[in-house]
Amino acid sequence: MHADLLRALVIDAADLEPAPPWAPYRGTSTARIDSSRPCASCGQPARATRVIDVPGLGPRWLDTCHPHFLAATRLLPSRMPSTVEGIVADLREAAREAGAGLTIVTDDGVAG
């Protein structure tokens, strides 16, 4: 998945700066983008960053300008369901995996 993203943005994964092995909190990412880092794709000042896992290299910072951030967002698969049915299916699956019971109550008070 990330290999396709990097290929589409014409980025060599080896050129990306190593990221911490732990998931950075929002403040870490925000502090990283201070206009001093270039976009990994075009060299313009970066406006966004994310950590991606690169096979063989581990976690890497992917700093992008606004247009390349939007392009990356469109290229990455959505992790969020887009329908109520999809959300409910994800909740049911998570409850099943956790071995927990699940009761869904809608805003009209009817169990569903």
Each of the 112 residues of the chain gets a pLDDT tens digit; together they read: 678 888 889 999 999 999 888 766 666 677 777 768 999 999 999 999 888 888 899 999 999 999 999 888 777 665 666 677 877 888 888 888 888 888 877 676 555 5
At residue 57, the pLDDT reads 92
At residue 111, the pLDDT reads 59
85 and 63 share a domain? no
CA distances from 62 to 39, 66, 107 (A): 8, 12, 40
State which residues form the domain around 68.
2-75
pTM score over 0.75: no
* Gap between the Cα atoms of 27 and 53, Å rounded: 20
71 and 94 share a domain? no
3-class state of residue 76 by DSSP: coil
At residue 92, the pLDDT reads 85
